[in-house]
Amino acid sequence: MAVSSIQSVSFPFRRGPTGFPEPAKGTRAVVENVFSLLLIGEGELPMGYGIGTRIHAFVNETSGPLLGARVAQDLRSVIRLKEPRMTVLSVGTRDVITRDGNGIEVGVEYQIGDEEGALSVPIGGGSGS
């Protein structure tokens, strides 16, 4: 499938020029699919077996190289299974302070077709994540 023919719904949902929800096309559609996958915690969606990640639970466990390795492994696994159109080139984490407590920001360098790019996903801390 050519990257230019991929179509999806924009995430976060928003009104587009011709209605709601705005469509996403090409590389942007794949990136937004991955972004939404990474914001969903494992088991959050009823009947959504295999959708979501465990990285939310990792935030409160540890930091440093071990956290980075665990996040990278889980992220690569979810993307390989649920959005194989994206090839993960590298994954990095950095600690951040959010209004809810400590969190991390996950940086992903990727390739989709012949296009390369980067994605940053904030994973909040606190009791709500």
Domain boundaries defined on the chain: 3-123
Q: Tell me, which fold does domain 3-123 have in CATH?
A: Nuclear Transport Factor 2; Chain: A, (3.10.450)
Reported as a single tens digit per residue, the pLDDT across 17-35 is 776 777 777 788 888 888 8
Is 90 exceeded by the pLDDT of residue 61? no
Cβ atoms < 10 Å from Cβ of 15: 10
> In sequence order, which residues have a C-beta less than 8 Å from that of residue 50 and are 6 or more positions away?
81, 82
| Cα gap 8→30, rounded to integer Å | 8
The structure's pTM equals 0.73
Whether the predicted pLDDT of 1 surpasses 70 = no
Q: What is the dihedral of CA 55, 71, 98, 35, to 10 degrees?
A: -70
> Coil, strand, or helix at residue 122?
strand
Task: Check whether 126 has a pLDDT greater than 70.
Answer: no
What whole-number distance in Å separates Cα of residue 72 and Cα of residue 21?
Answer: 31
Are the C-beta atoms of residues 35 and 12 closer than 8 Å to each other? no
pLDDT per residue as tens digits for the range 68-116: 888 889 889 989 988 899 999 999 888 787 676 677 888 999 999 889 9
